[in-house]
Amino acid sequence: MAESLSGTVRRILAVGSVRQERIVLRIRMIHLIRLAVVISSVLALQNCARVIEPPEDVAFVNTTSNLLPDSLLIQAVLRGERSDANASWWGFSETNATSMLQDAINSGAKVVFVPKMGQPWTVDPLFLASNQEIVFERGVTVLARKGSFKGRFEDLVAAEGKENIIIRGYGAKFEMRREDYVGPEYVRGEWRHCLALHGAKNIRIYGLRLVKAGGDGLFIGEGPDNFCSNILIQDVECDSNYRQGISVISAKGLTIENCRLTNTYGTAPQAGIDLEPDAPYHQLVDCTIRGCYITGNRYYGIVVSMIKYDSSSTPVSIRIEECWVSENSDGSQMLALAIVGPAPQFTNKLGTVYIVNNNLFGLQLFRNTSGLSF
């Protein structure tokens, strides 16, 4: 009897031991799965946050002195023996670095690194080249040269009819001298932009600050083509510009994402973002404004104006989502969003404007929009 009882106990203990082992195994599997998820997430974040770093001989330099050109490295780039370049190889001048920076852009390098020199890259108008990536070191300022930009349509940096350009500028700044341009030495105008895209395509702009323009922080409009196409503007800040934070005149396939548009004042419209074709043939097709912070502007935070459209115009397709629009005011009331159509006889087929999950504080104006789908 005792022996039978002892065997039963052993069997029970054996079963319990197996169950404990299974429980331990399951717990270990759960921990391994969780660890794999964490590792996968970290790797994904590292990949998303990847920043192109210069090779050792392209390393950023820090100096306040003027530099002489490095002819050996320049010749290697011009001969196509290397695809990367450091703008300081072409030299540096504290008073006027235009030719150095423009020559680096024109060199044919696939990637141009612009280092922090201890002083701004003070320049006259600069012109971008196709098929190139420009990486600005954190802390770089590209500054409009005092006494320059006398022409009303001179931009600090412009791309006209260019394609396949990437600008990475996290922590870098393009800055103009807006107060000078309203002085007696200048012809008044509202078109001296920090960065202008004229009929450009396949453009990516990341992380720049665009400040104190005599016009817009960023202008997107026609050039050799009637519209810009395939444009991404991400993590860009436009602050204290004269006419708009961003003006969109004509674009197909435009995304403005996670941008800050603040403190626009000077001349009308003074909006954070203004989508406003200047002619019936201009287009606003597949345009998205997502996750932007728009505040402190002297007019509406966001404007969509189609007053120049007629029956020949291409219907618009615009999406505005997850934006924060507040504290934009003309001094008498808060102004959040304005959508204005053309003359009543042309409002039949305007297109679509989707307004999704936004925080819009202030007046929302809709005029002559019977032909729009919302």
- 276-312 pLDDT tens trace: 999 999 999 999 999 999 999 999 999 999 999 999 9
- Tens digit of pLDDT for each residue in 162-182? 999 999 999 999 999 999 999
Q: Do 179 and 46 fall into the same domain? A: no
CA–CA separation, 271 and 269 (whole Å): 6
> Which CATH number fits the domain that encloses residue 320?
2.160.20.10
Q: Do 156 and 302 fall into the same domain? A: yes
Between the CA atoms of 34, 39, 41 and 45, what dihedral angle is there, to the nearest 10 degrees? 160
Show the tokens assigned to 180.
Answer: 């000078």
Q: Do 12 and 160 fall into the same domain? A: no
Q: Do 198 and 321 fall into the same domain? A: yes
142, part of any domain = yes
Q: Do 131 and 231 fall into the same domain? A: yes
Q: Do 43 and 128 fall into the same domain? A: no
59, part of any domain = no
Tell me if residue 344 falls in helix, strand or coil.
Answer: helix
Nearest 5°: CA angle at 57, between 52 and 63?
95
pTM: 0.83
Burial 104-142 (b: 16+ CB within 10 A, else e): bbebebebbbbbbbebbbbbbbbebbeebbbbbbeebbb
CA–CA separation, 50 and 39 (whole Å): 16
What order of strands is seen across the sheet that includes strand 126-127?
126-127, 157-160, 195-198, 216-221, 244-248, 273-275, 302-305, 335-340, 363-367
Higher pLDDT, 13 or 215: 215
369, part of any domain = yes
Tell me if residue 36 falls in helix, strand or coil.
Answer: helix
283, part of any domain = yes
Show the tokens assigned to 109.
Answer: 């390098």
pLDDT band at 21 (very low <50, low <70, confident <90, very high): low
Q: Do 349 and 249 fall into the same domain? A: yes
- Averaged pLDDT score across all residues of the chain: 88
255, part of any domain = yes
256, part of any domain = yes
Q: What is the mean pLDDT of residues 346-365?
A: 93
- Tens digit of pLDDT for each residue in 90-100? 999 999 999 99
Q: What is the mean pLDDT of residues 299-328?
A: 97
Q: Do 37 and 133 fall into the same domain? A: no
Q: Do 134 and 18 fall into the same domain? A: no
Between the CA atoms of 141, 145, 146 and 150, what dihedral angle is there, to the nearest 10 degrees? -130
Q: Do 35 and 132 fall into the same domain? A: no
90, part of any domain = no
CA–CA separation, 272 and 325 (whole Å): 9
pLDDT band at 353 (very low <50, low <70, confident <90, very high): very high
Structure confidence at residue 70 (pLDDT) = 84
116, part of any domain = no
Q: Do 182 and 43 fall into the same domain? A: no
Count structural domains, the chain: 2
Q: Do 223 and 360 fall into the same domain? A: yes
Q: Return the amino acid letter for 184.
A: P
Whether the link from the prior residue into 269 is cis, omega within 30° of 0, is: yes
The domain of 218 spans 124-373
- Tens digit of pLDDT for each residue in 122-175? 999 999 999 999 999 999 999 999 999 999 999 999 999 999 999 999 999 999
